[in-house]
Amino acid sequence: MKVRTSEFKYMNYVKRYFSMLLPLLAALQFTSGGLLIAFQVENEYGFNPQKDLDYIQQLYQTTRKYGIKELLVTSDAPYMTMDFTQDWSETHHTLMNTTFHDIYESILKYPASINLYMFHGGTNWGFLNGANIGSGNNSYYQPTTTSYDYDAPLPEAGHLRDTVMVLINGVLTSTPLASSDNFNGFGYWRLENSYITSTSTNLVNATLDLIVENWGRGNFGNLCFQCKGLTENNQVYLNDEELLFWTMYPFEFRKSWTSNLDGWKPVKGDLQTGPALYKGTLSFAEDPTDTFINMQKWTKDVVIVNEFVLGRYALVGPQQTLYLPGSFLIKGDNEIIFEQFNAAKNTIFSADP
């Protein structure tokens, strides 16, 4: 499915979503006594090298269909800065208030208008973090963090393309993530064709497993350059012979899928190196409040709280904590699952990110 295009399947989902969202917003328009004075159609679509004008026209028609009467804009207009912002990028960038003020004043004197992006920091729950895509290859792929705080005045809490792990007979043979330097090697996105020596001895009737992880579906940049998992142009070779007829098992992490996980066993001795699920219980005698899960001692993947996918984490940063609202927790026992390949022996909670 090609996202942000006029492809029928994609637009069917967009229109289904808009049919629920836009009537709620229509009631809040300025012409209806509300506070909304304009609506943005799409976001920075001009940066996409493959422009689908029929897609934009369908968005316009759908927006008007559900009662939106106010001014419609895009984020490509020269007299409107839609994203007056600071960003995460490779590090969590922040600005001094004086610098922020000076830039703000210069835009208004241009003259132009600004949209403070964002006033309230948000969270990319679950697997909805997204990613930036480069000009046509994976070398500039940048997955977005779970946190979408952007150093907002009102903070988040209110006060990588696919990667591959290789296992032979259930034992991890590829290099575990240890630093951002690993992105230049096998199993990550910067090399178009890479290889690994899995064993120095001959094996008979061995089982080869590939765990493919999507670090964030591309939603900015070259949107037409997207693929996932094993495709017709993404083959696997063993000793120069192409491997075919794979058996695939999806890790869906939907609530129904997660709730049916079984085979849990106590962790004894040293923790294994390799992909695994780890489950723990967090108990409250009173009603829980907001907190942050500090994942600095863990390696990489996701946190699931009471069957809800909270978000992603990685030791390479820039984000090291995950916001956990108190409303996601219950009085009594709460089940927390960590999925990754190099576990820590404990988990730390903190009041601040």
Residues 6+ apart with CB under 8 A from 316: 177, 179, 180, 300
Among residues of the chain, what percentage have pLDDT more than 90?
22
| pLDDT at site 13 | 96
Distance in angstroms (rounded) separating the CA atoms of residues 36 and 34: 6
Among residues of the chain, what percentage have pLDDT more than 70?
88
Alpha-carbon Rg of the chain, whole angstroms?
Answer: 23
Tokens matching residue 52: 């689908």
- Whether the link from the prior residue into 80 is cis, omega within 30° of 0, is no
Q: Are 4 and 48 in contact (CB under 8 A)?
A: yes
CB atoms within 10 A of CB 23: 12
C-alpha distances in angstroms, 38 versus 34, 85, 116? 11, 19, 14
Q: In degrees rounded to 5, what are phi and psi of residue 164? A: -130, 135
Distance in angstroms (rounded) separating the CA atoms of residues 348 and 322: 11
Segment 232-273, tens digit of pLDDT = 777 888 888 888 888 988 888 888 988 898 888 888 877 777
| pLDDT at site 224 | 67
* Closest to 339 (Cα-Cα) out of 295, 305, 304, 293: 304
Q: Tell me: pLDDT of 89 over 60.
A: no
Tokens 């040293």 correspond to what residue?
270
How would you classify the pairing of strands 122-123 and 113-116?
A: unpaired
Segment 20-61, tens digit of pLDDT = 999 999 999 999 999 999 999 988 888 777 789 999 999 999
Distance in angstroms (rounded) separating the CA atoms of residues 76 and 82: 8
Domains and CATH numbers, the chain: 8-73 (no CATH), 255-350 (2.60.120.260)
